[in-house]
Structure 1
Amino acid sequence: MPRRKELSEDLRSRIVDLHEAGKGYKSISKSLDVHVSTVRQTVYKWRKFSTVATLPRSGSLVNLSYHGRRPLVREVTKNPMVTLGQL
């Protein structure tokens, strides 16, 4: 199942505001039409990091340009069973 688009910062702020006002996860979920687990994750993130902004993700950046990727894709398309060592 593909990932969904991330929530806007405005929607995350509204979730946190409703939670601070004393609303429960289910009532916030129904009023804003988002899943209960999304509300829970947003509140958890706000409690842990004190922000609703999107934080930088871990992992290394892609260092391969379009022109460097093209020959690799062409080779793998010709021979799908090629290993990384053979490339």
Structure 2
Amino acid sequence: MPKLIYSKDIDHLRWKNLLENDSETRYKLFRSENGVFDFLKNLNKDEESVFSKYMENAYFNIPTERVLERVMDEIEELYNTKEMKNKDRNDI
């Protein structure tokens, strides 16, 4: 069985669940301590992976909820293309 990335207590950070929120709530979830960005930054932190190496000094730099909304809309647009329709996108 594959290792689960999202436990029940952080299921609200999943992409599909983030999309259910308004832009202000999404922004707060990204910026908050133990929110979306912290979760991604610390993913596989204890392993020596390229991802964890480059994320160790990362910081959230999206300035406003409106900019985040536009970024998320663009990502959604990419995942709604014909080529991506059958891909699992819940754990972006």
**Shorter-chain TM-score category?**
under 0.3
* Higher Cα radius of gyration: 1
Q: Kindly indicate whether structure 1 or structure 2 has the higher relative contact order, using CA contacts under 8 Å at least 6 residues apart.
A: 2
Normalised TM-score (structure 1):
0.25
